[in-house]
Amino acid sequence: MADGREILYFDREPTPRDAVDTRDLPQVANRSQLRYDALLGEWVAIASHRQTRTFLPPADECPLDASSPGRPTEIPESSYEVVVFENRFPSLATGVDRDVPPTAPGAPLAELRPGYGRAEVVCFTDEHERVFADLGHDRARLVVDVWADRTETLGALDGVEYVFPFENHGEEIGVTLSHPHGQIYAYPYLPPRVERILASVDRHRESTGGDLFAEVEVAERSGPRVVTANEHWTAFVPAATRWPYEVQLFPTRRVPDIPSLTDEERDAFVDVYLDVLGRFAHRMDTPMPYIASWNQAPVRAGREDWWLHLQVFSFRRAPGKLKYLAGSESGMGAFITDTNPEDVAEQLRALVLP
């Protein structure tokens, strides 16, 4: 790209790609830092340069569309299938300034590190008005292969400990660009959710001798909260969901990450995933905003204990009503859910999709 960022094109058939980014762009400012919260035992990324990122542009000015005469965008080509490129406003970057003091100003317990890592954008299609639920099987399957490719590539970077593909969908979720896209973060540490799950797996093994992931997967696969399933995947509402609407997708075979899925398992995932997204789109009067969050194994520690799964959840609790993370959730991290998991599963399961 014109400012030195990397861009990658993924096509189902070999396609010549030779367009040149003609824009006059300044070099990307990578000023991120990581600061350690000693009380919580968690890392926080400080990325104040992201305040200037593009925010809800008109549809005819979207930077994720393909380029056209007189209108160059982030993607120089005039059409594309799936594109991955480095975020112009990254929260983590490989080219970040490594020369940082050891601690935050006036806080000797707040260890400071460079905001090293990688933040990538994944554009699912060049059609601005489409959504993932409407991609169709073949294009969605290509996206799965892209996630697998990027997981392997980013996981091989020195210092990366976790690779996180995700999609924010809907303005209510906080999406600032309406073009259908997702992101991938490569963290230099284990995110809190992953650390907590691994600690629970260890604690369960020590106290019972059992395999926590396997026990949860087997129980949910035959339980009352299953929404849809096939031979290779089960989609269910978790028993203790935090969100008004949440579905988790587990493969039947234990694998640590997306690259470990076979071709047959990837095909089967697409079938179940598009079904779930269709149910989210038709449960209420308008499609629900959602976050799709891949829970993969860490790059190194704990891989043998992990079971790959995907969370799809929405903040919408009823037509026109959102679940706000207010005092209990935001202040104490203690979630109070406005819906009943068994009822949610029945509502989603009973939908007749067009």
Whether 310 and 167 share a structural domain: no
Say whether pLDDT at 348 is over 90: yes
Whether 185 and 277 share a structural domain: no
Q: Select which of 181, 232, 282, 309 is catalytic.
A: 181
Residue 181 falls in the annotated catalytic set: yes
Would 2 be classed as within a structural domain?
no
Would 1 be classed as within a structural domain?
no
What share of the chain has pLDDT > 70, as a percent?
A: 100
Give the 3-state DSSP-derived string for the chain, with helices as H, strands as E and coil as C.
Answer: CCCCCCEEEECCCCCCCCCCCCCCCCCCCCCCEEEEECCCCEEEEECHHHHHCCCCCCHHHCCCCECECCECCCECCCCCCEEEEECCCCCCECCCCCCCCCEECCEEEEEEEECECEEEEEECCCCCCCCHHHCCHHHHHHHHHHHHHHHHHHHCCCCCCEEEEEEEECHHHCCCCCCCEEEEEEECCCCHHHHHHHHHHHHHHHHHCCCHHHHHHHHHHCCCCEEEECCCEEEECCCCCCCCEEEEEEECCCCCCHHHCCHHHHHHHHHHHHHHHHHHHHCCCCCCCEEEEEECCCCCCCHHHCCCEEEEEECEEECCEECCCCHHHHHHCCCCCCCCHHHHHHHHHHCCCC
Alpha-carbon gap, residue 29 to 252, rounded angstroms: 43
CATH code for position 322 = 3.30.428.10
Whether 203 and 158 share a structural domain: no
Alpha-carbon gap, residue 258 to 182, rounded angstroms: 16
Which of 171, 189, 207 represents a domain boundary (last residue)?
Answer: 189
Tokens for 192, please give them. Answer: 């809190």
Residue 30 pLDDT: 79
What is the residue range of 231's domain? Answer: 193-350
Whether 272 and 243 share a structural domain: yes
Whether 176 and 64 share a structural domain: yes
Which of 189, 213, 234 represents a domain boundary (last residue)?
Answer: 189
280-329 pLDDT, tens digit each: 999 999 999 999 999 999 999 899 999 999 999 999 999 999 999 999 99
Say whether pLDDT at 49 is over 90: no
Q: State pTM to two decimals.
A: 0.96
Whether 202 and 321 share a structural domain: yes
Residue 146 pLDDT: 98
Would 111 be classed as within a structural domain?
yes
Whether 36 and 168 share a structural domain: yes
Within a 13 Å sphere around the CA of 34, how many CA atoms are in the beta-carbon half?
A: 19
Mean pLDDT of 42-64: 89
Say whether pLDDT at 250 is over 90: yes
Beta strand pairing call for 233-236 and 107-114: unpaired
Average pLDDT, the chain: 96
Would 201 be classed as within a structural domain?
yes
Whether 93 and 147 share a structural domain: yes
Would 90 be classed as within a structural domain?
yes
Residue 150 pLDDT: 98
Whether 206 and 163 share a structural domain: no
Whether 11 and 143 share a structural domain: yes
Dihedral sign, CA of 35, 42, 171, 142? positive
* Radius of gyration from C-alpha coordinates of the chain: 21
133: closest CA among 263, 266, 310, 279?
279
Would 17 be classed as within a structural domain?
yes
Whether 267 and 126 share a structural domain: no
Would 172 be classed as within a structural domain?
yes
Which of 189, 223, 240 represents a domain boundary (last residue)?
Answer: 189
Whether 64 and 154 share a structural domain: yes
Confidence label for 145 from pLDDT (cuts 50, 70 and 90): very high
Domain count, the chain: 2
